C-alpha cells in the first residue's frame, strides 16, 4: 500500500524549482529555501509566479510526482505529466463504462448518495456540539430535509436524476451554513463560485482546488484517466473523474477544515479582501494557515469503513480511486463510496 507522502506547496513569487540529484530544490533570489527528496513527495503545487527547470519536471513525471501550477488564488492553470501512465486496459474499460448511461448512473448515484450522507453528518455533528438550541433545531431540520434526496439518489436510474437530488441537497446544506459559522464575523449567502463573493466561499473554493489536485493525482496513480468521469460530463480540460472522486470527500475533508479554521479563530474576516470585480481573495498569511491546516488534516488517522484498514485522511482519495478501479475491472459489484460515520 502507498505510503502517505507529502505535498510541497510553493507560494513565494519568483521561486525557482530545480533538480538536484533525486531531490527538488526551491530557490528564492539565489538562496536555497528548501530541499526535499522526490521519494518523500506525492505532488508539488505552485501558486503564482513560480518557475521550474525542464530537468525537474522530467524527473517528477518519472517519479510520479504531480506538478500543478495554480493562479495566486488557487485556480488550476496547468498540470505537468509525463507520458500517460497506468493501464491501457483499465482506461478502455473506464471509457466504455462512461459511455454507458446505465453503468454510469450506477456509479454516480453511489457517489451522490455518499456526498449527501456526509453533508448530513457535518450538520448533525455540529448540531451535537452546539449549545444554542435554535442553531441545533435549524441544523437538525436541514439534516431531516436531506433524508429524502438521499433516499431517492440511492435509487436514481439516470445520472441526471442523481445530479438533481444532489443539487437539492446542496441547496439545503449551504442554506444553514450561517448557523455553522457561529457568529465569528463570517456571513455566507449560499454557495458562490467563479468568483467567490464572500470569505467563506473563497475559503471553500481554495480548499476544493487543493482537494481536486489530490484527486487528480489519485486517479492517475490508480491508472485511470482523470478526465473521464461518470457523474461529471466531459468538458475539455475538466478533470471530471477527479471531480467525481472528490465529491464524497468534500464535506469530510474540505468543509470540516474550513469550519474548524473559522470556529477556532485561526482564520478571520480581516484575512480577506474584495477586488474590484467583487471576487474575494485571501491574503498570504491566511493562505499559509489554510495550507497548513489542510496538510495536517490529511495526516489524521482513521479506519477505512469499507476496507477496515487503518489509513490516513490524505490516502482516502487514493483508496477510493483504487476501489473505483476495482469496480471497473468487475472485481467489485458496486463502487463503495466513502461514508463518514
Query: Rounded distance, CA 182 to CA 230, Å?
Result: 36
If you write DSSP's letter for every residue of 64-83 in order, what string do you get? Answer: T-EEEEE-TTS-EEEEE--S
- Is residue 35 at the binding interface for other proteins, with CB under 8 A as the rule? yes
Instruction: Kindly state the number of chain residues that form the binding site for other proteins, as judged by CB under 8 A.
Output: 29
If you write DSSP's letter for every residue of 219-273 in order, what string do you get? Answer: HHHTT--TT--SSSPP-TT--HHHHHHHHTTIIIIIIHHHHHHHHTTSS-GGGEE
- Is residue 155 at the binding interface for other proteins, with CB under 8 A as the rule? no
Query: Rounded distance, CA 153 to CA 257, Å?
Result: 26
- Is residue 6 at the binding interface for other proteins, with CB under 8 A as the rule? yes
- Is residue 39 at the binding interface for other proteins, with CB under 8 A as the rule? yes
Contact with other proteins (CB under 8 A) among 233, 260, 275, 292: 292
Contact with other proteins (CB under 8 A) among 49, 128, 157, 296: 296
Shortest Å distance, C-beta 12 to other proteins: 6
- β-strand partners of 24: 19, 36
- Is residue 291 at the binding interface for other proteins, with CB under 8 A as the rule? yes
Contact with other proteins (CB under 8 A) among 90, 168, 295, 304: 295
- Is residue 40 at the binding interface for other proteins, with CB under 8 A as the rule? yes
Of 31-39, 110-118, 184-192, 218-226, the window that binds other proteins (rule: CB under 8 A) is 31-39
- Is residue 33 at the binding interface for other proteins, with CB under 8 A as the rule? yes
Of 26 and 98, nearer to other proteins (C-beta) is 26
Shortest Å distance, C-beta 20 to other proteins: 8
- Is residue 266 at the binding interface for other proteins, with CB under 8 A as the rule? no
Query: Rounded distance, CA 173 to CA 169, Å?
Result: 6
Shortest Å distance, C-beta 54 to other proteins: 19
β 23-28/31-37 pair status = antiparallel
- Judged by DSSP in three states, 158 sits in coil
Contacts of 249 (CB under 8 A, 6+ apart): 118, 211, 215, 316, 317, 320, 338
Contact with other proteins (CB under 8 A) among 18, 28, 51, 279: 28
CB 284 within 8 A of CB 11: yes
Nearest 5°: the CA angle 142, 240, 41 is 100
Q: How far is CA 222 from CA 40, 122, 330, in A?
A: 19, 29, 15
Contact with other proteins (CB under 8 A) among 13, 14, 21, 309: 21
- Is residue 23 at the binding interface for other proteins, with CB under 8 A as the rule? yes
H or E element in which residue 51 lies:
strand 50-52
Shortest Å distance, C-beta 17 to other proteins: 9
Contacts of 95 (CB under 8 A, 6+ apart): 225, 228
- Is residue 130 at the binding interface for other proteins, with CB under 8 A as the rule? no
Of 45 and 259, nearer to other proteins (C-beta) is 45
Q: Which positions lie near other proteins, rule CB under 8 A?
A: 3-4, 6-12, 15, 20-23, 26, 28, 33-37, 39-40, 288, 291-292, 295-296, 299
Amino acid at each position: 500500500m502507498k505510503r502517505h507522502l507529502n505535498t510541497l506547496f510553493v507560494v513565494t513569487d519568483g521561486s525557482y524549482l530545480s533538480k538536484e540529484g533525486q531531490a527538488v530544490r526551491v530557490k528564492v533570489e539565489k538562496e536555497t529555501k528548501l530541499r526535499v527528496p522526490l521519494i518523500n513527495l506525492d505532488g508539488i503545487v505552485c501558486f503564482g509566479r513560480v518557475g521550474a527547470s525542464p530537468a525537474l519536471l522530467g524527473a517528477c513525471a518519472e517519479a510520479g510526482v504531480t506538478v500543478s501550477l495554480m493562479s495566486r488564488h488557487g485556480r488550476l492553470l496547468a498540470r505537468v505529466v509525463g507520458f500517460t501512465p497506468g493501464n491501457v486496459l483499465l482506461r478502455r474499460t473506464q471509457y466504455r463504462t462512461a459511455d454507458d448511461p446505465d453503468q454510469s448512473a450506477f456509479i454516480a448515484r453511489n457517489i451522490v448518495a455518499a456526498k449527501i450522507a456526509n453533508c448530513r453528518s457535518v450538520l448533525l455533528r455540529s448540531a451535537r456540539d452546539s449549545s444554542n438550541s435554535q442553531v441545533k433545531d435549524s441544523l437538525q431540520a436541514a439534516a431531516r430535509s436531506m433524508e429524502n434526496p438521499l433516499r431517492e439518489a440511492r435509487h436514481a436510474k439516470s445520472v441526471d436524476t442523481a445530479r438533481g437530488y444532489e443539487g437539492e441537497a446542496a441547496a439545503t446544506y449551504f442554506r444553514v451554513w450561517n448557523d455553522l459559522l457561529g457568529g465569528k464575523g463570517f456571513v455566507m449567502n449560499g454557495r458562490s463560485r467563479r468568483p467567490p463573493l464572500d470569505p467563506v466561499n473563497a475559503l471553500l473554493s481554495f480548499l476544493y482546488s487543493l482537494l481536486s489536485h489530490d484527486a487528480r493525482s489519485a486517479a492517475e496513480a490508480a491508472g485511470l484517466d482523470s478526465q473521464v468521469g461518470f457523474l461529471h460530463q466531459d468538458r475539455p480540460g475538466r478533470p471530471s473523474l477527479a471531480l467525481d472522486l472528490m465529491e464524497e470527500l468534500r464535506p469530510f475533508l474540505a468543509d470540516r477544515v474550513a469550519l474548524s479554521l473559522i470556529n477556532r479563530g485561526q482564520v478571520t474576516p480581516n484575512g480577506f479582501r474584495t477586488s474590484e470585480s467583487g471576487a474575494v481573495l485571501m491574503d498570504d498569511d491566511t493562505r499559509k494557515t489554510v495550507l497548513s491546516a489542510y496538510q495536517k488534516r490529511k495526516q489524521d488517522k482513521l479506519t477505512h469503513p469499507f476496507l477496515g484498514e487503518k489509513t490516513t485522511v490524505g490516502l482516502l482519495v487514493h483508496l477510493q480511486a483504487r476501489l473505483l478501479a476495482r469496480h471497473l475491472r468487475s472485481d467489485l459489484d458496486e463502487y463503495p463510496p466513502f461514508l463518514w460515520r
